[in-house]
Amino acid sequence: MTSVAVRDRVEVARPHRKPWYKVLYIQVLIAIFLGILVGWLLPDLAKNEWVKALGDGFIKLIKMVIAPIIFCTVVSGIAHIQDAKKVGRVGIKALVYFEVVSTFALIIGLLVGNIVKPGAGFSGTPDPSAVAGYAKQAAEQKPVDFILHIIPDSVVGAFAQGDILQVLLFAILFGFALLILGERGATVRSFIDDVAHAMFGVIAIVMKAAPIGAFGAMAYTIGRYGPSALGNLFGLIATFYATAALFIFVVLGTIARIAGFSIFKFIGYIKDELLIVLGTSSSESALPQLMEKLERLGCSKSVVGLVVPTGYSFNLDGTNIYMTLATLFIAQALGYDLTLGQQLTILLVALLTSKGASGVTGAGFITLAATLAVVNPALVPGMAVILGIDKFMSEVRALTNITGNGVAAIIVAWWEGELDREKLNAGLSREIDPSDVETAVTTD
């Protein structure tokens, strides 16, 4: 394609600039700011169950369509592949990438925890009863139970419960079944493609409510915990935020540079999704829209359909950083000097316990309990030390997780030779408005 043709196509695709008050990320920013003000100045109002329901309701609206969207995208991605070996090849490449990057995240958490020592000198007595429930859930998590849980009792149950791994397993099997059917499955493939577009249309409608959801979630959080909650353990929060930023801009930034794109431009491209995650503390709230944007950025449908849902459970970089850093903080706060062998145990155990942790708020806290129980059961009561501020760290966990999964999809697509550089450059250069999801749904 000539440069003139490319330029003409971009000019046609470039929409008129929206008024600032209609731009989603600006609306979400204003909503978060107002939520902080209401939570700070009117805490009694902010703690009202109806305010909390604004955030919870928005997340439920998103979760309502996550299972069918993942099912449709995975099935469509597999069914449209002519070579069945490609599915396994993409899956193996994705898992290798996940494990390598996850290990980097864990190591960075350990290094920063040992250098900064945020828990040193902490004075306070943890309340074991405050974390009894999390410890019980962690004790019940066994590797064999995790594997068996991936297999749903029924297909309908997997969709009803919204269990991502169960839906993913059935979608892979169904996609291979359509692949084997060949031309006889063309009608079903076409129907699933249409359903996927309809579901993304639903997401485009639901996203109109994102500012309301972000306002409710932020107001309730500040109203319940108070601004002082940030000051009590500010050192840990600041250390975690800085470590997550270090991972994103250095580790992911280096990976992105090797693949030929800028991590800063990519973050700018998905800023709407990041702000929604910031307001709701859940990466679920932006998952469908992220998948849509990655396809528009030049990643093939098959790669996005396989990598992103899988990464949602197996590539949780933010959760990995949190577990190693929080484990060291608790050990330092309780006066335990962990040996090199115990810290290596943290590394190995965290690689396992982080798998399957959902993007829902609090899941990282449960996996932390599982890690502590294996490394040293005496550390589990220390979770009460950070219970009050976990909510503030869960937001950065979710932000890091969704950024890492977005980069992973681009890397695997590039690795597989299915990355459209023209679309990638146009999207990251903002030649096409990435926030116009409605246009993508109707014109794809």
Alpha helices in 207-339, H assignment, sequence order:
210-225, 228-232, 234-246, 253-259, 263-269, 271-280, 287-296, 301-314, 317-334
The reply to whether 5 falls in a domain is no
**Where residue 381 falls among pLDDT bands split at 50, 70, 90?**
confident
pLDDT, residue 441, reads 41
Query: Mean pLDDT over residues 389-412, rounded?
Result: 85
* Residue 21 · residue 211 · CB < 8 Å: no
Please state, in angstroms and rounded to a whole number, the distance separating the CA atoms of residues 102 and 352.
11
The reply to whether 15 falls in a domain is no
Query: Mean pLDDT over residues 338-362, rounded?
Result: 68
The reply to whether 7 falls in a domain is no
Phi-psi region of 394 (alpha: psi -120 to 50; beta: other; left: phi over 0): alpha
Q: Give percent of the chain with pLDDT exceeding 70.
A: 75
The reply to whether 64 falls in a domain is yes
Asked whether the predicted pLDDT for residue 104 surpasses 70, the reply is yes
Asked whether the predicted pLDDT for residue 15 surpasses 80, the reply is no
The reply to whether 181 falls in a domain is yes
Query: Mean pLDDT over residues 359-387, rounded?
Result: 66
**42 compared with 378, residue with greater pLDDT:** 42
Asked whether the predicted pLDDT for residue 131 surpasses 60, the reply is no
**316 compared with 125, residue with greater pLDDT:** 316
pLDDT, the chain, mean? 77
pLDDT, residue 84, reads 61
Q: Give percent of the chain with pLDDT exceeding 90.
A: 11
pLDDT, residue 248, reads 94
* Residue 21 · residue 205 · CB < 8 Å: no
pLDDT, residue 132, reads 52
Asked whether the predicted pLDDT for residue 363 surpasses 60, the reply is no
Asked whether the predicted pLDDT for residue 10 surpasses 70, the reply is no
Each residue's pLDDT tens digit, 148-193: 777 888 888 888 877 777 887 888 888 888 888 878 888 888 898 8
pLDDT, residue 404, reads 92
**Where residue 108 falls among pLDDT bands split at 50, 70, 90?**
very high
Query: Mean pLDDT over residues 312-340, rounded?
Result: 82
Please state, in angstroms and rounded to a whole number, the distance separating the CA atoms of residues 265 and 405.
16
Lowest mean pLDDT among 1-15, 26-40, 45-59, 279-293: 1-15
Please state, in angstroms and rounded to a whole number, the distance separating the CA atoms of residues 253 and 41.
39
pLDDT, residue 439, reads 42
The reply to whether 12 falls in a domain is no
**Where residue 365 falls among pLDDT bands split at 50, 70, 90?**
low
**Where residue 385 falls among pLDDT bands split at 50, 70, 90?**
low
Alpha helices in 270-300, H assignment, sequence order:
271-280, 287-296
Those residues with Cβ within 8 angstroms of residue 21's Cβ, 6 or more apart along the chain or in another chain = 27
Asked whether the predicted pLDDT for residue 130 surpasses 60, the reply is no
Query: Mean pLDDT over residues 1-22, rounded?
Result: 50
pLDDT, residue 2, reads 44
Q: Which amino acid is at 128?
A: P
User: And the tokens for 255?
Assistant: 């990976």
Query: Mean pLDDT over residues 125-131, rounded?
Result: 49
Lowest mean pLDDT among 215-224, 319-328, 352-361: 352-361
The reply to whether 9 falls in a domain is no
Domains contained in the chain, number: 1
The reply to whether 308 falls in a domain is yes
**CATH classification of the domain holding 265:** 1.10.3860.10
Query: Mean pLDDT over residues 341-365, rounded?
Result: 65
Lowest mean pLDDT among 259-263, 342-346, 430-434: 430-434
Query: Mean pLDDT over residues 314-336, rounded?
Result: 83
User: And the tokens for 202?
Assistant: 């639903």
Query: Mean pLDDT over residues 281-287, rounded?
Result: 72
Each residue's pLDDT tens digit, 193-248: 888 888 878 877 887 888 888 888 878 877 876 665 455 457 788 888 899 999 99
Report helix, strand or coil for 95: helix
Domain that holds residue 150: 20-443
**Where residue 249 falls among pLDDT bands split at 50, 70, 90?**
very high
